[in-house]
Chain A
Amino acid sequence: MNKAANNRIPTDWNGAIMQKRIAGRYAAERRFKAMGFVAVALSTLFLAFLLFTMLGQGVRGFQRTEIAVDFDFPTLTSGATAASITGANAEGALNSMDLPGIIELAMSQQYGDKGGELLTSAAVANVRQMLLADPQLISGKQRLWLPVDSRLDVAYKRKGEPAAEKTVETLSQNDVLRTGFNWTFLTGADATDPSAVGIWAAFKGSLMTMAITLLLAFPVGVFAALYLEEYAPKNKLTDMIEVSINNLAAVPSIIFGLLGLAVFLTMFGMPRSSALVGGLTLALMTMPVIVIAGRNAVKSVPPSIREAALGIGASPVQVVFHHVLPLALPGILTGTIIGMARALGETAPLLMIGMRAFIPTAPQGFTDAATALPVQIYLWSDEVNQGFVEKTSAAIIVLLIFLLGMNALAIYLRNRFETRW
């Protein structure tokens, strides 16, 4: 009855056709594996290329080109003494001294009529700081190194405009140019001249925004996670809360910006461009992340702990706040840090609520106009002036270092405190 099966010719595994077929299958196997490898390699290469580009350009952003300027202070200031710029009145004395004029004069004496144009606007503040730090400078002839204008800076570091290149060439022959560390970049604020810009204002804006975000999103997120995991009854309302949270976690960030604009700015009339509104908007965005991480952490606390505490007569609230929450805290913190890192890198919602303003001084309060580090990066990237390219990359390096630090902290916390039950 099984004729066909019986008549079947036995497979000749060693025959040429079969061998060829098997070789082909192995070749396909190798190709497939190679494709997988290429996919991973491409992703990694892209990341490496990105980081390398940013690093390569960014390093120059931390450097500045300085020019030697000879000051004959006694003549230039008509006899100011070290004593006059020491003590409580130092600031006032310097203000009345017309430093910009003095520098202009010194430059034109040394480098000709248009000598003053060689320097960047930040040079005045630099001289001021040097004099405050060491008043003795004013009582003699000094050679100070001051930052040059952005065009020369670009020309000295790489290729700039032809005119600037020529000037740099002449100056270099006289040995009056050198490369120094750009302190202004770490302490300053936005400016129109790329040589004078700094990230401190934007960074402070980011810190203030993050502070508001953390202050709101953390307690609300933790409370919501505790409620949903420990107390929420199974009903319509709870379902709605769950759907809302899952949905909010996936809403595009720009939508939160629109919410901030419509509700916080227009409806409540809160101050535009402020860290307060930025923090509120990002808090709404970060809260679902914390809730989801928090719920997972709370869920992983074994029920025997709750039973033990209940068995001694702890109330449900005491059980949660004395036992469950402390045990879940490392997990919650890890999730919070990751959510905060995401908020720190967020740009789009902040553009919507006007944190794209030109901020030449660091914000003093939560309602002052402010900007944030990623927004500053966006603003600088839009500038046509070549000098901004390296500043943008340098700001990106600072941002990435912070994000890396936060993520490393999260990983450390997870490994250090993770308990397996």
Chain B
Amino acid sequence: MTGTALLFLVLGLGLVAWIAGRARAAAFVRAAKGGPRGQVNSLPSYHGWFVAICAIIPAVFFMFVWQTISPALVTNTVLASPMTTDLPQDGFARAAILSEARAIAQGFQTTAFQAQSEKLVPLYKNALAYYSWIGMAGTLALLFAGGAFAFTRLKPDFRARNKVEYLVMLALLFASLIAIFTTVGIFASLIFESYQFFSMVSPFEFLIGTNWNPKNIVTPGADNGYGAIPLFWGTIFIGAIIAMLVAIPLGLMSAIFLTQYASSNIRKLMKPILEILAGVPTVVYGYFAALTVAPAIRDFAVMLGVSNAASDNALAAGIVMGVMIIPLVSSMSDDSIAAVPNAMRDGSLAMGATKSETIKKVLLPAALPGVVGGVLLAVSRAIGETMIVVMAAGYTANLTANPFDTITTVTVQIVALLTGDQDFGSPHTLAAFALGLALFITTFLLNYVALRVVKRYREAYE
């Protein structure tokens, strides 16, 4: 019996439990009819839910636990058999034979490519059948036990509603905790893999080295090509410099034009158009940058006489990334300008200042903290952006400030290091996690500071 079928059986029996509980409680209600109010504490359906939950939850929980641990048990059983003594000692070859035998036993694969795995198929079949039988029996036993326990507790004055609602509250709390689990999971996995990486490669080489040319076999003490400075520089150059040179003026001026000058019709038309820019998937931007923008910029550079202009130049990736960020900068500026009290603007206008003077001398200085917060968020967004740089920027680490040259970033290297069938414990894979940790910490700090700045700014005007 497959897991899915078992799950449906459990759910079906849960429905039976619900009906049984509800019917029993309905009998209480009939018996109490005509008597004083409140004899039956809860509606029959709550009794039903109580029985159903008691029956299903432990059973499903057991099912999932069993699903995770039974593969290991099956393997152990198979390995305990004398037939497996002649398997190769080499871990990789051994695992390949075992997984093939398992695949055949489960019916995912029809023919064996390795002679040895053929022999193991019956062993696997037996072990799989045995453990899946235990799993099924255990699940159903728990289901009946839970259901029966709950059913016997039903009484007219049993507070089924309170119990069910308590469980609902637990479910809500658990859903909220998933956010914490995720954050902890991200942090723990990044730290754990990075720790392994730094036990192979010195943190100093990583943080202050300028040579990025990662070797897959590392020698302690030697230069292993894990100097990440060129990557950090490339990330800053593309994400925090070029992209911001595009996004800040265009985003800020768009916000000013739309909020201060444009008629309400134009505003209604243009705002959604700017929002579309934010909704275009980054892979589309990346493709556009690589296919159209980058060659145009290279041709332009050659025309200017730049001899070493690359087709995967930093400028193309940076400009397109900047365009992607425009809506973010624009909407944050929009909010900050709108939060400036009207009295300030009126005061300036009443003295005979022009609109642009009012904006430049009064509104923008007053809104500056909000705008700065928005720009920080935009930088955090830009340095974490992956697809545009993967498709349009280069793969070669290059410590240069020439925007027509090729340059690489942290996110590009994460993708590059994890591409191909690397062993999970290899220095390449682990280096990707170390880069990920650096990226996570940076964006976390940027976001934190940005949100603080914006929040304090909003409070100042409330």
| Cβ-based interface call for B287 (8 A) | yes
| Cβ-based interface call for A224 (8 A) | yes
A positions within 8 Å CB-CB of B: 25-26, 28-29, 32-33, 35-40, 42-44, 46-47, 50, 53-54, 219-224, 226-228, 231-232, 240-241, 244-248, 250-256, 258-259, 261-263, 266-269, 284, 287-288, 291, 315-317, 321, 341-342, 344-348, 351-352, 356, 374-375, 377-378, 381, 389, 392-393, 396, 399-400, 403, 407
Given contacts A262-B189, A321-B168, 5 further A-B contacts (CB under 8 A): A54-B284, A223-B175, A375-B283, A381-B286, A407-B279
B residues in contact with A291, CB < 8 Å: 179
Q: Report the minimum CB–CB distance from A28 to chain B (whole Å).
A: 6
Q: Majority SS of interface residues in chain A?
A: helix
A residues in contact with B444, CB < 8 Å: 247, 251
Bound-state Cα–Cα, A224 to B174, Å: 8
Across chains A and B, which 8 residue pairs bring their CB atoms closest together, nearest first? A252-B384, A36-B257, A345-B281, A223-B175, A39-B253, A32-B356, A262-B189, A348-B386
Determine if A241 and B180 form an interchain contact, defined as CB atoms under 8 angstroms apart: yes
| Cβ-based interface call for B169 (8 A) | yes
Asked if A378 meets B284 with Cβ closer than 8 Å, knowing A244-B182, A244-B183, A250-B377, the reply is no
Asked if A288 meets B286 with Cβ closer than 8 Å, knowing A261-B418, A389-B291, the reply is no
Determine if B176 and A381 form an interchain contact, defined as CB atoms under 8 angstroms apart: no
Closest to B327 in A: A43
B positions within 8 Å CB-CB of A: 68, 71, 161-162, 165, 168-169, 171-180, 182-183, 185-186, 189-190, 192-193, 249-254, 256-258, 260-262, 270, 273-274, 276-277, 279-288, 290-292, 323, 326, 354-357, 359-360, 377, 380-381, 383-387, 390-391, 411, 414-415, 418-419, 424, 432-433, 436, 439-440, 443-444, 447-448, 451
What are 19 A-B interface contacts by the 8 Å CB criterion?
A25-B357, A32-B356, A33-B257, A33-B355, A36-B256, A40-B254, A44-B270, A228-B176, A247-B448, A250-B380, A258-B436, A263-B189, A288-B179, A321-B168, A342-B279, A348-B390, A352-B415, A356-B419, A381-B391
Q: Report the minimum CB–CB distance from B405 to chain A (whole Å).
A: 22
Closest to B415 in A: A351
B residues in contact with A227, CB < 8 Å: 169, 172-173, 175-176
Determine if B176 and A232 form an interchain contact, defined as CB atoms under 8 angstroms apart: yes
Bound-state Cα–Cα, A182 to B274, Å: 33
Determine if B186 and A246 form an interchain contact, defined as CB atoms under 8 angstroms apart: no
A residues in contact with B411, CB < 8 Å: 252, 254, 348
Q: Report the minimum CB–CB distance from B433 to chain A (whole Å).
A: 6
A residues in contact with B354, CB < 8 Å: 25-26, 28-29
Q: Report the minimum CB–CB distance from A322 to chain B (whole Å).
A: 12
Determine if A254 and B386 form an interchain contact, defined as CB atoms under 8 angstroms apart: yes
Q: Which of B174, B192, B418 has the most CB of A within 10 A?
A: B418
Closest to A262 in B: B189
A residues in contact with B385, CB < 8 Å: 252
Which of A244, A255, A262, A344 is the one whose CB lies under 8 Å from B179?
A244
B residues in contact with A224, CB < 8 Å: 172, 175-176, 178-179
Determine if B284 and A50 form an interchain contact, defined as CB atoms under 8 angstroms apart: yes
Q: Report the minimum CB–CB distance from A282 to chain B (whole Å).
A: 12
Closest to B251 in A: A39
Bound-state Cα–Cα, A50 to B276, Å: 12
Determine if B418 and A47 form an interchain contact, defined as CB atoms under 8 angstroms apart: no
B residues in contact with A36, CB < 8 Å: 253-254, 256-258, 260-261
Determine if B359 and A252 form an interchain contact, defined as CB atoms under 8 angstroms apart: no
Q: Report the minimum CB–CB distance from B312 to chain A (whole Å).
A: 12
Which of A28, A288, A316, A403 is the one whose CB lies under 8 Å from B279?
A403
Determine if B386 and A248 form an interchain contact, defined as CB atoms under 8 angstroms apart: no
Which of B172, B256, B283 is the one whose CB lies under 8 Å from A377?
B283
A residues in contact with B173, CB < 8 Å: 227
Q: Report the minimum CB–CB distance from A57 to chain B (whole Å).
A: 8
B residues in contact with A219, CB < 8 Å: 175
Asked if A252 meets B386 with Cβ closer than 8 Å, knowing A223-B172, A317-B165, the reply is yes
Determine if A247 and B356 form an interchain contact, defined as CB atoms under 8 angstroms apart: no
Bound-state Cα–Cα, A228 to B175, Å: 10
Bound-state Cα–Cα, A356 to B201, Å: 29
Determine if A54 and B356 form an interchain contact, defined as CB atoms under 8 angstroms apart: no
A residues in contact with B257, CB < 8 Å: 33, 36-37, 39-40
Determine if B250 and A43 form an interchain contact, defined as CB atoms under 8 angstroms apart: yes
A residues in contact with B186, CB < 8 Å: 251, 255-256, 258-259
B residues in contact with A54, CB < 8 Å: 284, 288
Q: Report the minimum CB–CB distance from A287 to chain B (whole Å).
A: 7
Q: Report the minimum CB–CB distance from B382 to chain A (whole Å).
A: 10
A residues in contact with B253, CB < 8 Å: 35-36, 38-40
B residues in contact with A250, CB < 8 Å: 377, 380-381, 443, 447
Bound-state Cα–Cα, A269 to B419, Å: 19
Bound-state Cα–Cα, A28 to B391, Å: 41
A residues in contact with B285, CB < 8 Å: 50
B residues in contact with A220, CB < 8 Å: 175, 178
Closest to A249 in B: B447
Asked if A255 meets B171 with Cβ closer than 8 Å, knowing A32-B359, A378-B286, the reply is no
Bound-state Cα–Cα, A140 to B450, Å: 75
B residues in contact with A267, CB < 8 Å: 189
Asked if A255 meets B440 with Cβ closer than 8 Å, knowing A291-B179, A381-B286, A381-B391, the reply is yes
Asked if A39 meets B249 with Cβ closer than 8 Å, knowing A248-B182, A348-B386, the reply is yes
Bound-state Cα–Cα, A32 to B281, Å: 32
Q: Which of B179, B185, B258 has the most CB of A within 10 A?
A: B179
Determine if A262 and B182 form an interchain contact, defined as CB atoms under 8 angstroms apart: no
Closest to B269 in A: A44
B residues in contact with A256, CB < 8 Å: 186
Closest to A37 in B: B257
Closest to B275 in A: A407
Q: Report the minimum CB–CB distance from B156 to chain A (whole Å).
A: 19
Determine if A374 and B283 form an interchain contact, defined as CB atoms under 8 angstroms apart: yes
Closest to B385 in A: A252
Bound-state Cα–Cα, A291 to B444, Å: 19
Determine if B443 and A252 form an interchain contact, defined as CB atoms under 8 angstroms apart: yes
Determine if A258 and B356 form an interchain contact, defined as CB atoms under 8 angstroms apart: no
Bound-state Cα–Cα, A142 to B380, Å: 63
B residues in contact with A222, CB < 8 Å: 175
